[in-house]
Amino acid sequence: MASVTYNHVTKRFGDVVALNDFTIHVKDQEFLVLVGPSGCGKTTALRCLAGLEEVTEGEILIGDQVVNDVLAKDRDIAMVFQSYALYPHMTVFENMAFGLKLRKVPKDEIKRRVHEAAEILGIENLLDRKPRQLSGGQRQRVAVGRAIVRNPKVFLFDEPLSNLDAKLRVQTRTEISKLHKRLQTTFIYVTHDQVEAMTMADRIAVMNHGVLQQIDTPQELYDHPANKFVAGFIGSPAMNFFPATLKAADGKFYVDTGAFQVEVPPERKETYKGYLNRQVILGVRPEHIHNPQFAPAGIFAQPVEGTVEVTELMGSEIFVYMRAGEHSFVARVDPRSKYRMGEKGQVVFDMSQMHLFDPETELAIR
């Protein structure tokens, strides 16, 4: 068990900067998820830690040891890849035992560790099979088991669920969360799926273009995104954004998008007064847009009218895609709602949950 520290780490591939001054500290036994779109640098950060890529600048520490010049095999980490990377000619037992054999671990100890890991993962009955005889989910468990048997200080997961179908992905991410609690080891997990990140992580590090955008707990990222990118990336469907102007009238503040105008809650006036009569970006999450008929009590509701373009019935809710003037947005509304495609409809924005961003810096206005 060990902490992990990236200290001003930069990684360049020629003229391409894959990681730019990346600094985070992962606590011992923490489950940290690196999340961001393809090409944001999250896998590069993992590979640098694993010793599969050399750091251009900065230091990486595992515990108190700087590992920049330590060989990958000596870093005491285990990595689970997206592609499983199982040897097709070996049985499940042989695949899981292979790394231990290379380290000349005694046979009895290998057998004990493999069977213990297989029991944890529920694959005891698969130990004599070859990878081609396994389903995708079973292969993924074998890949995780191969990592478990090594008892590493740190587990690294590089998009391990990407090759699984939707139902199996949900089941396997639950198993990985249980595994973390059982093993009490540091987990660093890479994914582009923000739902995986939100449901599994102790903390999430959001990345874009090789730069750390924000690191915090899932709920803090959702409630208090540092900038427009984080706000749009965390949450599904994504936050709605409206270019607007902040105006004042009759002692009240309003956000005017051109197509509609909504009042700012009085308690937010002090926060936003420096942006009065300036351009802003209004952010409202789909789940904070309601059918007026079924809106929760006590919200700061502001009516908005638009034309319904598409409705998607999800069973427990309806996604309603609407257009107001030049602005398109999506609302998550009560399943009893009766919105019709092509017709006018009204929703209410819960402005107590609103976000405002500076259009130049894209930073949240706080």
pLDDT tens for each residue of 146-167: 888 888 899 999 988 877 778 8
Number of domains in the chain: 2
Judging by DSSP bridges, how do beta strands 261-263 and 279-284 pair with one another?
unpaired
CATH number at residue 135: 3.40.50.300
Check: CB of residue 11 under 8 Å from CB of residue 201: no
pLDDT of residue 278: 97
Predicted confidence (pLDDT) per residue in 286-298, tens digit: 999 999 999 999 9
Q: Is the pLDDT of residue 141 over 90?
A: no
Residue 15 is predicted with a pLDDT of 94
d(CA 52, CA 242): 43
Kindly state whether residues 227 and 282 are assigned to the same domain: no
Question: pLDDT-based confidence at 108, cuts 50/70/90?
Answer: very high
Distance CA 245, CA 276 (A): 8
Q: What is the mean pLDDT of residues 28-36?
A: 96
Q: What mean pLDDT comes out for the span 42-71?
A: 95
In a shared domain, residues 203 and 352:
no
pLDDT digit string, tens, across residues 90-100: 999 999 999 89
Any idea of the CA torsion for 168, 172, 174, 179, to the nearest 10 degrees? Answer: 170
Average pLDDT over residues 53-62: 96
Q: How far apart are CA 53 and CA 47, in angstroms?
A: 6
Stretch 236-257: mean pLDDT: 96
ω into 237 cis (within 30 of 0): yes
pLDDT attached to residue 209 = 95
Domain stops at, among 201, 233, 265: 233
Question: For 238-271, what is the HEC assignment?
Answer: CCEEEEEEEEEECCEEEEECCCCEEECCHHHHHH
Q: What is the arithmetic mean of pLDDT over 245-269? A: 96
310-330 pLDDT, tens digit per residue, is 999 999 999 999 999 999 999
Q: How far apart are CA 60 and CA 80, in angstroms?
A: 20
Give the tens place of pLDDT for each residue, 60-90: 999 999 999 999 989 999 888 877 788 999 9
Would residue 27 count as lying in a domain?
A: yes
HEC string for 140-197: HHHHHHHHHCCCCCEEEEECCCCCCCHHHHHHHHHHHHHHHHHHCCEEEEEECCHHHH
Task: Indicate if 266 and 131 belong to the same structural domain.
Answer: no
Task: State both tokens at 40.
Answer: 């944001």
Q: Which two tokens stand for residue 107?
A: 């046979």
3-state secondary structure of 280: strand
- Where among 233, 264, 294 does a domain terminate? 233
Q: Is residue 216 part of a domain?
A: yes
pLDDT digits (tens, 9 = 90+) for 170-212: 888 888 898 899 889 999 999 998 889 999 999 999 999 999 9
The answer to whether residues 17 and 141 belong to one domain is yes
Which of residues 118 and 359 earns the better pLDDT score?
Answer: 359
| CATH number assigned to the domain comprising residue 350 | 2.40.50.140
The pLDDT assigned to 251 comes to: 93
Residue pair 307/320 in contact by the 8 Å Cβ criterion: no
Range of the domain at 108: 4-233
Question: pLDDT band at 5, cuts 50/70/90?
Answer: very high
183 found inside a domain: yes
- Whether the pLDDT of residue 1 is over 80: the answer is no
Please tell me the predicted confidence (pLDDT) of residue 353: 96
Starting at the edge strand found earlier in the chain, the sheet holding 186-191 runs: 77-80, 154-158, 186-191, 31-35, 203-208, 211-216
